[in-house]
């Protein structure tokens, strides 16, 4: 997965390190207890900063899994 380490870096800025250690390419919001609605916003901001992209509200709402984040970044040409 092309963006794996950089996405994990964004997760490390938002979620507890012990949970980030459990993150895999198949992880979803349901898999990580700290990936709640408040941390979701922080994660979106961390992804925007890490990849120098600006997500629309609609785009951000679709990023509910690690794979969805990676696919979005691929579509954006990151």
Per-residue pLDDT, 67: 95
Per-residue pLDDT, 22: 87
User: Rounded to an integer, what distance in angstroms lies between the CA atom of residue 24 and that of residue 38?
Assistant: 21
Per-residue pLDDT, 2: 85
pTM for the full predicted model: 0.90
CATH of 4-75, one of 3.40.1550.10, 1.10.1200.10, 3.90.920.20, 3.30.450.40: 1.10.1200.10
- Chain centroid to CA 23: 10
pLDDT tens digits, residue range 14-61? 999 999 988 899 999 999 999 999 899 999 999 999 999 999 999 999
Q: Return phi, psi of residue 75, to 5°.
A: -65, -30
Residues 6/69, Cβ–Cβ less than 8 Å: no
């Amino acid at each position: 997965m092309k963006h794996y380490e950089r996405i994990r870096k964004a997760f490390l800025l938002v979620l507890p390190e012990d949970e980030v250690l459990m993150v895999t390419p198949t992880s979803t919001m349901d898999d990580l207890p700290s990936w709640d609605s408040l941390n979701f916003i922080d994660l979106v901001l961390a992804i925007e900063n890490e990849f120098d992209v600006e997500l629309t509200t609609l785009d951000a709402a679709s990023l509910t899994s690690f794979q969805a984040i990676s696919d979005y970044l691929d579509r954006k040409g990151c």
